[in-house]
Amino acid sequence: MNKLVLGLTFALTAGASSLALCADPSEAHQHDHTSMDMSMPMPMRTDPAGPMKDSRQLVRYPEPMRIHTLANMRDHLATLAQIQEALAHGAFDQASSLAEERLGMSSLQMHGAHELAMYMPKGMQEAGTAMHHTASQFAIVAKDASVTGDLKPVLASLAKLNQTCVACHATYRLH
Ligand code: HEC
């Protein structure tokens, strides 16, 4: 009798796991789908447990420029925070002008991009240009949202902007 119960249990378990197997591919597909949505180029992750090795390319700026650049960077981060805060209040116009004036094409003069460019490897210049373009695109998307009230495209565009920061940081360092 016990054997029968065991046998039954086994059959049921086997049945369940083959069901689970059946369910797997669709689940895997769903995962693929999710990761596709997030499939912006991600930098290599450093393993926190592994040996720390900085493989980013070292770029040398004259010291005053390095200090100036890092101050700008901190302002970039502060701007992203202000943009997020504005979005949380539905202040799309404000988010739009913050992005355009402090990060977008309009900010190039302010950041002394021209003088800096000659110290930057080509890839870094391109990463910088990508950030300014993407910020100006965000500014337009956010402006549109002040009419539509639709936050989703704004968040997607903000994520793209954030990704341009991540991309450059993954490749270059200053000191
Ligand atoms: C063109 C390349 C590039 C882009 C684009 C870029 N950064 Fe940076 N950023 C750097 C480099 C290089 C450093 C120095 C990193 C290092 O030496 O480890 C840096 C450093 C920083 C720092 C640290 C500042 C400090 O005081 O040490 C912050 C914060 C930062 N970036 C924020 C941002 C944000 C936010 C964005 C996007 C809106 C952004 N950066 C876009 C290149 C870039």
Q: In this predicted model, what pLDDT tens digit does every residue of 18-61 receive, in sequence order? A: 444 434 444 444 444 444 445 555 555 555 555 688 999 999 99
| Residue 121: inside a domain | yes
The CATH number covering residue 150 comes to 1.20.120
| Residue 102: inside a domain | yes
| Residue 169: inside a domain | yes
Domain hosting residue 163, numbered range = 57-173
Which of 169, 171, 172, 175 is the pocket-test mutation for ligand 1 (most atoms within 8 Å of CB)?
A: 169
Ligand 1, atom 28: nearest CA belongs to which residue?
73
Which of 54, 168, 171, 173 is the pocket-test mutation for ligand 1 (most atoms within 8 Å of CB)?
A: 168
| Cβ pair 92, 143 in contact under 8 A | yes
Total count of domains within the chain:
1
| Residue 63: inside a domain | yes
| Residue 168: inside a domain | yes
| Residue 46: inside a domain | no
| Residue 16: inside a domain | no
What span, in angstroms and rounded, lies between the C-alpha atoms of 60 and 173? 9
| Cβ pair 162, 134 in contact under 8 A | no
Tell whether ligand 1 has an atom less than 6 A from the beta carbon of residue 167: no
Q: What is the pTM of this model?
A: 0.77
| Residue 122: inside a domain | yes
pLDDT single digits (tens) 60-102: 999 999 999 999 999 999 999 999 999 999 999 999 999 999 9
